[in-house]
Amino acid sequence: MRNGLILAGALLALVSGGAQAHHSFAAFFDETKLVTIKGKVTAFRFTNPHGTIGVAVVGEDGSTREWRAETNAPVVLMRRGWTRDAIKPGQAITIEGWLARDGKPYMRLRRAFDADGKLIGAAPFTQADD
Amino acid sequence: MRRPGIAAALSLLLAAPATGQEHPDLSGFWNLDFAPPRPEAQLLLAKLPPDTVVIEDTGVVEFPEDEYGALKLKPEAQAKASEWKPTDEMTLSRVCAAPSIVYSIQGPFPFELHQTDDIIVIEYEYFDRVRVIFMDGRDHPPADAPHSKMGHSVGHWDGDELVIDTTHIEPSTITNNGLEHSANIHMVERYRKLDEDTLIATQWFEDAQVLDNNGARLIQWRKHEGQFIYPYDCDPSIAVEYQQTGQ
């Protein structure tokens, strides 16, 4: 696994699509590429149309790559138990999400876990989300 | 604090007489219903004009690049839509550009509806939009009147169904993947309350400048007592973050 990236191919058929917001999920993200990254939070922005989580991911060769996970709109996150203090820079985090189609280290968050493996928020984001 | 647009709209609402009992009361906080449409939806679908296709991109479902359901695009519209790329939206000038009511009506964001006999006000959480529907019998303004993302809406009751006719909509996306409607789009919505907690509507539109047929969506919402819409306050800095990612 390079740069801490885990392709979760077996899960692909089970989870399709995240909730849309300002840009088209289907056009922007690949719903067949669900990935998991582990690293340290470098930034957390909690504003619409999407929040973002910056994550520094250290690969097996010791190099660090900066990833960014886009969240659903914070108006949606708030109804799922998120707050603007739900994530803090410096904390360890694991994020699962759908890869951007353009090849950037950019994804749409499905769910995130803190250092203790606890789910952040009340529920993951799936096709049944609002 | 409420935004000035909302305050003005609610002032109009407060000045209007209270709703009568002869029509269903659609007031309340409504959010998209993720359950399949109820069988009664056929009653509304049967009332759609001929040469209409129902596109299935309601709610969280969205079309990928270069797919527009069964909509028949004019050659110029097709060419323009085919040039569109998803990353076009991730720029400072685009990322907080609110879509028009044509697209935003069907998304997975809630709205609050306030109803009287003469006026209906709808506050949409998505991009903090406020829409006024005149129920007093007035007509649309002249064709060259200013257009807006919410357009100009007049409504009437057809039995238990609320029918809203909207024109003067500023050009914007139809399907959120490069297909844009013109300033001449005409939209008709037909709402029907199925029970105290379920609202369903067809959203029909024609745009002869862009489409060779007519489009429609079927949308179903659930009522949630005690909830209210949140401020959206779009922040375009995500576009800069996206552009810097991977550099």
Facing A130 at nearest CB: one of B32, B237, B238: B32
> Which pLDDT score is estimated for B30?
98
Lowest mean pLDDT, pick from A82-91, A120-129, B108-117, B208-217 = A120-129
Size of interface A-B (CB pairs under 8 A): 111
Cβ contacts of B86 on chain A, cutoff 8 Å: 23-24, 27-28, 101-102
- Domains in chain A (CATH in brackets) are 24-129 (2.40.50.140)
For residue range B64-87, list pLDDT tens digits in order. 899 999 999 999 999 999 999 988
Q: How many domains does chain B have?
A: 1
Gap between the Cα atoms of B166 and B128, Å rounded:
19
Is B62 within the bounds of a domain?
yes
Using the predicted structure, report yes or no on whether residue A4 has a pLDDT greater than 70: no
Which secondary-structure segment (H or E) carries A4?
none
For residue range B87-101, list pLDDT tens digits in order. 888 999 999 999 999
Gap between the Cα atoms of A126 and B226, Å rounded:
25
> Which pLDDT score is estimated for B174?
97
Gap between the Cα atoms of B183 and B187, Å rounded:
11
Lowest mean pLDDT, pick from A6-15, B218-227, B232-241 = A6-15
Using the predicted structure, report yes or no on whether residue B24 has a pLDDT greater than 90: yes
Select the more confidently predicted residue: A7 or A78.
Answer: A78
Lowest mean pLDDT, pick from A94-108, B50-64, B199-213 = B50-64
Q: Quick one: what percent of chain B has pLDDT higher than 70?
A: 91
Question: Residue A25 in 3-state DSSP?
Answer: helix
This prediction has a pTM of 0.86
Using the predicted structure, report yes or no on whether residue A45 has a pLDDT greater than 90: yes
Select the more confidently predicted residue: B27 or A20.
Answer: B27
Q: Which are the contacts of B178, defined by CB distance < 8 A and separation ≥ 6?
A: B65, B66, B80, B81, B82, B83, B84, B88
> Which pLDDT score is estimated for B6?
57
Q: Which are the contacts of B188, defined by CB distance < 8 A and separation ≥ 6?
A: B163, B164, B165, B166, B203, B204, B205
Is B129 within the bounds of a domain?
yes
Task: Spell out which chain A residues touch chain B, with contact meaning CB-CB distance below 8 angstroms.
Answer: 17-28, 45, 47-50, 52, 54, 66-68, 70, 73, 75-76, 78, 101-106, 127-130
> Which pLDDT score is estimated for B5?
57
- Answer whether B234 sits within 8 Å of A17, measured CB to CB: no
Domain membership of residue B215 as a residue range: 4-16+26-245
What is chain B's mean pLDDT, rounded? 92
Residue B191 pLDDT grade (very low, low, confident, very high; cuts 50, 70, 90): very high
Is B21 within the bounds of a domain?
no
Q: Once rounded to an integer, what is the mean pLDDT over residues B225-232?
A: 96
Q: Once rounded to an integer, what is the mean pLDDT over residues B183-204?
A: 98
**What is the DSSP code (8-state) at residue A76?**
H
Cβ contacts of A54 on chain B, cutoff 8 Å: 241
Facing B238 at nearest CB: one of A18, A24, A50: A50
Q: Once rounded to an integer, what is the mean pLDDT over residues A52-60?
A: 96
